[in-house]
Amino acid sequence: MIDKKHIGYNFPPVTIPVEEGRLKFLAKSLGETKGIYTDPDTAKAAGLPGLLAPPTFPFMLEIDALDLVDFMSVLGETLEKLLHGEENFNYYAPIYAGDSITVRKKITDIIDKKGGALQFVISDNTFTNQDGIIVAETRTNYVFRHQ
Amino acid sequence: MTLPKFDSLNVGDEIPALTTPLVSRHILALYCGASGDHNPIHVDLDFAKSSGLDDVIAHGMLSAGYLAQMLTNWIPQSALRSFNNRFTAMTQIGDTVTCSGKIVEKFEKDGEKFVRLELYTNTPQAQTIVAEAEVVLT
């Protein structure tokens, strides 16, 4: 069982450069072909400063900022038990290649379900760009299967 | 693409669906590297079996990425204000993922016009994501 002492824990902020090659690779893996996600010249012609990061990209920053293996060791858990329960995004401004995003992650709740057979670890994450603008917030529900 | 007009949309309208290629081990390997989600349950059969599964399973966020792609085929990403995904079943190797969505509410908030959508991903076996999005229109 995951100790509820972790509720309220703030991980140290991590700042991550948004790389053009990463966004191209992500688009390829998703089968995304729209030029603003795949081709820097198309993005610039559309008036954007660089490739546009897709809507799910904040989650990638979240796991870049804290590797799942390291997250498990903080919780005293193993990856074998982990499932993804929910991923919720609020968007305030775009993320582009060339940005530098600071990720702040906090454990906001740990909830027992089914008499402890399942536990939900809820984390809230804030993403701030190089200009100090909060570009997105996410709430993640990590599900642990104890049986 | 151009933003649809708020007045031209009605509750119950469906947005253009998206069906993806078969989920293959190759796609999961690419997505593992590209997304940074290196959980071996998605790419390592031995690990998946040690976790009590018969085979590797797709990343939930891969299907969420397909849903997001359906949305950005329909509207510019700048119109998307929230996107909430609940993962309800696992996606298996060889599944096709079908994305669909419909408008469930029209409302105004702080002087802006919004539609709320319910979104789904389905495989042949199960509904794998139930999602909701808020989109701002003019």
Distance CA B35, CA A30 (A): 10
* Residue A138, both tokens: 């996410």
Domains of chain A, first to last: 4-18+53-145 (3.10.129.10), 19-51 (no CATH)
Q: Quick one: pLDDT at residue B138?
A: 85
Phi, psi of B23 (to 5 degrees): -70, 115
pLDDT in tens, A122-146: 999 999 999 999 999 999 999 999 9
CA distances from B74 to A89, A104, A131, B82, B102 (A): 18, 31, 30, 15, 12
pLDDT over threshold 90, residue A47: yes
For residues B46-62, give the mean pLDDT: 95
Residues sharing a CB contact under 8 Å with residue A34, sequence separation 6 or more, in sequence order: B72, B73
In contact, A135 and A95? CB cutoff 8 Å: yes
Provide the 8-state DSSP code for B40.
G
| pLDDT band with cut points at 50, 70 and 90 for residue B128 | very high
What's the confidence (pLDDT) of residue B1?
66
Residues of B in contact with A83 (CB under 8 A): 87
Kindly provide the b/e burial profile for residues B14-24, where b requires at least 16 CB atoms within 10 angstroms of the residue's own CB: ebeebebeebe
DSSP secondary structure letter of residue B57: B
The confidence score (pLDDT) of residue B137 equals 95
Burial (CB < 10 A; 0-12, 13-18, 19+), residue B121, is: buried
Write down the H helix ranges in chain A: 20-30, 35-38, 40-45, 57-65, 68-75
Q: Which of B21, B39, B60 sits opposite A68 (nearest CB)?
A: B39
- Rounded distance between C-alpha atoms, residue B32 and residue B39, angstroms: 8
pLDDT in tens, A72-118: 999 999 998 999 999 999 999 999 999 999 999 999 999 999 998 99
Domains and CATH numbers, chain B: 6-22+60-137 (3.10.129.10)
B49 touches chain A (CB under 8 A): no
- Do the interacting molecules here have an ipTM over 0.85? yes
Q: What pLDDT shows up at residue B3?
A: 86
Length of chain B (residues) = 138
Q: Is the pLDDT of residue B15 over 90?
A: yes
Interface contact A31-B21, CB threshold 8 A? yes
Which chain A residues have any C-beta within 8 angstroms of a chain B C-beta? 22, 25-26, 28-32, 34, 52, 54-56, 59-60, 63-64, 67-69, 79-91, 94
Q: How far is B33 from chain A (nearest CA, A)?
A: 8
State pLDDT tens for residues B81-110. 999 999 999 999 999 999 999 999 999 999
